[in-house]
Amino acid sequence: MRRRNRLGFAGRLAAILALAVLLAACAEKKAPAPKAGAGLDPAEARAIATEAYLYGYPLVTMEMTRRVMSNVAAPENGHAPMNEFAHVRRYPPAGFRDVTMPNADTLYSTAWLDLSAGPMVLSLPDTHGRYYVMPILSAWIGVIASPGARTTGTGPQTYAITGPDWRGSLPSGMSEIKSPTNLVWILGRTSCTGSPSDYEAAHAVQNKYLLVPLSAWGKPAPPAAPGRVDPAVDMKTPVRDQVDALPAGPYFRLLAKLLRDNPPAPEDAPLLARMARMGIVPGQDFDLGALPPELALAAAGAPRAGQARMASAAKSTAETINGWSVDLKMGVYDSDYGRRALTAHRALAANLPQDAVYAVSTGWYRGEGKYVLRFPSGQLPPVNAFWSLTLYDGEFFFTPNPLNRFSLGSRDALKHDEDGSVTIFIQHESPGPDREANWLPAPEKEFNLVMRLYWPKTTPPSILDGSWAPPEIELAQ
């Protein structure tokens, strides 16, 4: 925790020091700071703007997601005002559009925190062995802590989540989680089978996930103030579409503003210096029109170029095994801005691989085909918690189907073949009454598949060391 504390402080200084040499030189000569775009040609401006677009994509996406998910007067349907939990009480329906690649395995408990006014205390109950994971993400989508069954057990726990500038002491028995940014997203997941009785038991656990300001810790809880609802926030368009539709000018203006309260990492300093040459400076207003016309035109193409780079990176950021793309570096990105942007685009709140591994099918399929996924006897996914196979449409959202079934896995009563193997049928039409227990309904149009392994085993066979791999998806015979 102390190391994160120093890095968080250094991260704030890095944004300032990145420009220090250049500005100091100007000060010595009593000359004004260089004008935005000075010395750049259109090719250089285009390259810097594209880099800046990819760099800022997670931060901008987190902010736009926060606006939508906190734009309510009181907790409802997975949305809640800032610094309050919202609990999803049922698995997401087909119309769910807040987060790409949602899961149908666990119940979400989500909270957006603003630490600029002081730390927030997170209190977790004794879940009596029930699996849960409570990843805490910075505004840059990195997982800064992941309390839960794997890391800290299922007993009662109390944490103070502190911002990058906070210094102080904590009550005895309270652990500090230092965030490098003032914006924080908690996206907890609690295991639930989906049966009526287990829903009730899981809800009882969710009700004991608590958030309170450190200043109010140990005092009678005041009544929750109603959240502020902004009618200007688009609550219908998927957040990803809203971000992707932002023109370069508003995008970089928002990025510069967000960088003020969510300091970059020290290793970002070289890129920040290049961005400053384009006038993109933390805390300063960005004006695309202030650039020379030819540079403004070059920078205006950054969204399209950045999104094209993400699409290209999707083919090379993870290892491909049997037709599955497996990324074992989720949640920790360092200076790999392209991979981080891609994660924000496709799976904003990805877990650490030690908590959950995602295997995404590299091929796209259509409902007129009939596909099978066969697990040989004794070779089901090796996990300490559970596994699932989830189907998404071409935009990585759920698709309606007659069974209202979006995933299959170890929680389901899958039928075994005579030789002990398990076959999952992936197709638009029913494979027949005797096979429907193993049927994952597909749409007529394009779809994709994601396999999740919750708390994967670390000893062979394990997906973490490559001694186990998901089998290939095949056309049915």
For residue 27, the model assigns a pLDDT of 44
Instruction: Please write down the HEC assignment for all residues of the chain.
Output: CHHHHHHHHHHHHHHHHCCHHHHHHHHHCCCCCCCCCCCCCHHHHHHHHHHHHHHHHHHHHHHHHHHHHCCCCCCECCECCCCCCEECCCCCCCCCCCCCCCCCCEEEEEEEEEHHHCCEEEEECCCCCCCEECCEEECCCCEEECCECCCCCCCCEEEEEECCCCCCCCCCCCEEEECCCCEEEEEEEEECCCCHHHHHHHHHHHCCCEEEEHHHCCCCCCCCCCCCCCCCCCCCCCHHHHHHCCCHHHHHHHHHHHHHHCCCCHHHHHHHHHHHHCCCCCCCCCCHHHCCHHHHHHHHCHHHHHHHHHHHHCCCCCEEECCEEECCCCCCCCCCHHHHHHHHHHCCCCCCCCCEEEEEECCCEECCCCEEEEECCCCCCCECCCEEEEEEECCCCCCCCCCCCCEEECCCCCCECCCCCEEEEEECCCCCHHHHHHEEECCCCEEEEEEEEECECCCCCCCCCCCCCCCCEEECC
Q: Confidence band (pLDDT; 50, 70, 90) for 317?
A: low
8: pLDDT strictly greater than 70: no
pLDDT tens digit string along 372-417?
A: 999 999 999 999 999 999 999 988 899 999 999 999 999 899 999 9
Mean pLDDT of 40-58: 97
Contact 255, 280 (CB under 8 A): yes
16: pLDDT strictly greater than 60: no
Distance CA 375, CA 384 (A): 18
Contact 443, 406 (CB under 8 A): no
Mean pLDDT of 282-306: 96
Percent of the chain with pLDDT over 90: 74
What are the structural domains, with CATH classification, of the chain? 2-63+239-313 (no CATH), 72-216 (2.60.40.1610), 319-475 (2.60.120.600)
For residue 348, the model assigns a pLDDT of 85
DSSP code, position 74: S
Closest CA to 350 of 162, 109, 99: 99
Distance CA 23, CA 16 (A): 10
Lowest mean pLDDT segment, chosen from 36-40, 151-155, 220-224, 403-407: 220-224
26: pLDDT strictly greater than 60: no
Percent of the chain with pLDDT over 70: 91
For residue 264, the model assigns a pLDDT of 92
Lowest mean pLDDT segment, chosen from 3-12, 103-112, 163-172, 266-275: 3-12
Q: Confidence band (pLDDT; 50, 70, 90) for 31?
A: very low
pLDDT tens digit string along 86-144?
A: 999 988 788 887 667 788 889 999 999 999 999 999 999 999 999 999 999 999 999 99
Residue 461 in tokens: 């066979």
Average predicted confidence (pLDDT) for the chain: 90
